[in-house]
A = this chain, B = another copy of it.
Amino acid sequence: MQETPKGDRLHIALFGRRNAGKSSMINALTGQDIALVSDVAGTTTDPVYKAMELLPVGPVMFIDTAGIDDVGELGALRVERTMQVLNKTDLALLVIDPATGVGDEEIALAAVVRERKIPLLAVINKADVSSAPLLDLTQWGKTLDCPIIVTSAVSGLGIEKLKQAIIQAAPDDWEGQPLIGDLLQPGDTVVMVVPIDLAAPKGRLILPQVQAIRDALDNDAICIVAKERELRSVIDNMKRPPRLVVTDSQEFLKVSADTPPDVWLTSFSILMARHKGDLSTLAAGAKAIDDLKPGDSVLVAEGCTHHRQADDIGRVKIPRWLRQRVGGDLDFTWVSGGDFPTDLSRYKLIIHCGSCMLNRRQMVYRLSVAREQNIPIVNYGVLIAWLHGILPRALRPFPLVASLFTDEQP
């Protein structure tokens, strides 16, 4: 049995001072002894992730962070990492020890969270042992401008109430657009073209393929999965043609030739771009490719640190295609995993991976950083479709986005 992909979980981050009891709170919420808990302040250094099912929200990911009041050089580094967690946070819990109460750190954190438009809950911990009078509660709630829940991670007091508050505060739109389900009617057939890539481990399919099959089935559609060489014979063998063909971006040209003109064609990468972020921003970014000149700086951002093949798409193939396109060398920078620069001003273009390992919030954040600084951003699949001249066709299932490339009104 496999688990829900990390990127499709609601990300709930716990913030608070050292020793406020963030790790214990996660243990109390998950009913497991996973996080390292001790009475020494500052036990959690790097953010720690814990997946669980929280009904009726579904799959969630708790993120345990270092204390917002950490000190010294290392402490400052840890606080910085804690703040980076906000880039992927769908819902924030601020854990407060009543003995220290609401001070400058809590007020500053709440302000940053509010600025990012992330829902916030204040969680008073240690209510069972605290001798501090809890009369400040109303004042604290006003100061932080968020609901306050009184709990004890150790005794379990208030934990069920906290779960209910989490469920109510969870943003409705955190799941984003469906991957593929809304493009299909019950009984429709979708053909998925899946080149067996050397990069896919034995016995597995890559994540976007599994997610697309599952989403199609959940919407009562039928999936045909085949390698690119079989596509023509698959379509020839059907009495009614498929509604949609989805291909790996790297086979776009061949698949486009083998797909009848009246059948929709798109790519896993374009589906993922819509599911995880904002397809129109990425499609608009594709147009900036034509403005690139030799010597321009280009940022390539990968969401994970995967094992690299000799002809890696982000490190080798895309740079080669772009150099050919602009007729000269470009100045490429690569970042991977959680790293994403806040100052993008030196780049003429950002090229992002399919982000199968990132959550929607993280991708939306990156898109917003690029938009604010007016830097065009595109992803692998959109870029490849554009370079091959088939982006308008690949966007036909999404008329609003497709209208960017035509003079017609959607």
Contacts and interface: CB of A to CB of B under 8 A. Distances in A.
A194 B215 CA distance: 13
A157 to B, nearest CB: 27
A223 B226 CA distance: 6
Interface string A225-239: 111011001101111
B306 A1 contact: yes
Given A218-B196, A226-B217, A201 B1 contact: yes
A59 interface: yes
A201 B304 contact: no
Ranked nearest first, the 5 interchain pairs of A and B with the lowest CB-CB distance are A4-B201, A223-B225, A222-B226, A2-B204, A4-B202
Contacts of A357: 1
A41 interface: no
Interface stretch (A21-29, A108-116, A205-213): A205-213
Contacts of A389: none
Nearest to A59: B202
A199 interface: yes
Contacts of A306: 1
B240 A237 contact: yes
A3 B204 CA distance: 7
A203 B234 contact: no
Contacts of A211: 203-204
Given A217-B196, A238-B237, A8 B203 contact: yes
The copy count of this chain in the complex is 2
Contacts of A304: 1
A258 to B, nearest CB: 14
B201 A3 contact: yes
Contacts of A204: 2-5, 210-211, 214
Nearest to A8: B203
A200 interface: yes
A202 B1 contact: no
A399 interface: no
A274 to B, nearest CB: 16
A31 interface: no
Given A196-B218, A225-B225, A1 B207 contact: yes
A294 interface: no
Interface in A233-257: 233-234, 236-240
B5 A203 contact: yes
A195 to B, nearest CB: 9
Given A194-B217, A237-B239, A58 B207 contact: no
Contacts of A71: none
B196 A2 contact: no
Contacts of A218: 196
